[in-house]
């Protein structure tokens, strides 16, 4: 059914997943620094960016409402996607996800989102959501989500100033 294979992430996958996360988000964090400037970035955003590795680690812990899946190409992990399910609201969410930049533009992201959406449907979710940034570094993610059928958008703006 899928061009890529998927399986639940395992603790031993963490070094590879962290490597993918770091490489995939490097341009995003650089964009944030460029948008905010060094001083505001260091004060307002750097800690959040640095905490992302811990978030990924937390997704490897067992939890009934969230799961982390890896995308495999020839048994090599080429991406990952977190799927969060809320049985009370019937809302499914695509959480932290990334594709190894060396494998970009091969349909891996699209396959991951199709896989995640199928899991949500099978779990009885009624709505799927994903959130992403509006800055230029997130343009590829926005395109991928739109290709996956996400079109209802709530725009937001994140403003910062030094005190």
Decide: 133 and 48 in contact? Cβ < 8 Å: no
- The upper half-sphere exposure of residue 137, i.e. CA atoms within 13 Å in the direction of its Cβ, equals 13
* Mean pLDDT across 24-36: 95
Q: How far apart are CA 6 and CA 115, in angstroms?
A: 8
| pTM summary value | 0.93
The pLDDT, as a whole number, for residue 2 is 59
Q: What integer best gives the mean pLDDT of the chain?
A: 94
Domains and CATH numbers, the chain: 5-147 (3.40.630.30)
Tell me what the mean pLDDT of segment 62-71 comes to: 91
State percent of the chain over pLDDT 70: 99
SS3 of residue 40 by DSSP: helix
* pLDDT tens, residue by residue, 117-130: 999 999 999 999 99
């Amino acid at each position: 059914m899928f061009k890529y294979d998927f399986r639940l992430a395992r603790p031993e996958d963490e070094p590879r997943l962290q490597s993918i996360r770091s490489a995939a988000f490097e341009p995003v964090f650089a964009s944030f620094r460029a948008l905010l400037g060094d001083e505001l970035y260091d004060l307002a955003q750097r800690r959040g960016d640095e905490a992302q590795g811990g978030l990924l680690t937390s997704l490897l812990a067992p939890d009934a409402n969230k799961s982390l899946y890896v995308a495999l190409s020839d048994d090599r992990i080429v991406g990952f996607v977190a799927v969060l399910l809320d049985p009370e609201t019937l809302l499914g969410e695509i959480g932290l996800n990334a594709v190894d930049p060396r494998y970009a533009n091969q349909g891996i992201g699209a396959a991951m989102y199709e896989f995640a959406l199928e899991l949500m449907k099978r779990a009885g979710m009624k709505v799927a959501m994903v959130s992403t940034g509006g800055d230029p570094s997130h343009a590829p993610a926005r395109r991928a989500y739109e290709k996956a059928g996400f079109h209802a958008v709530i725009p937001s703006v994140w403003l910062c100033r030094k005190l």
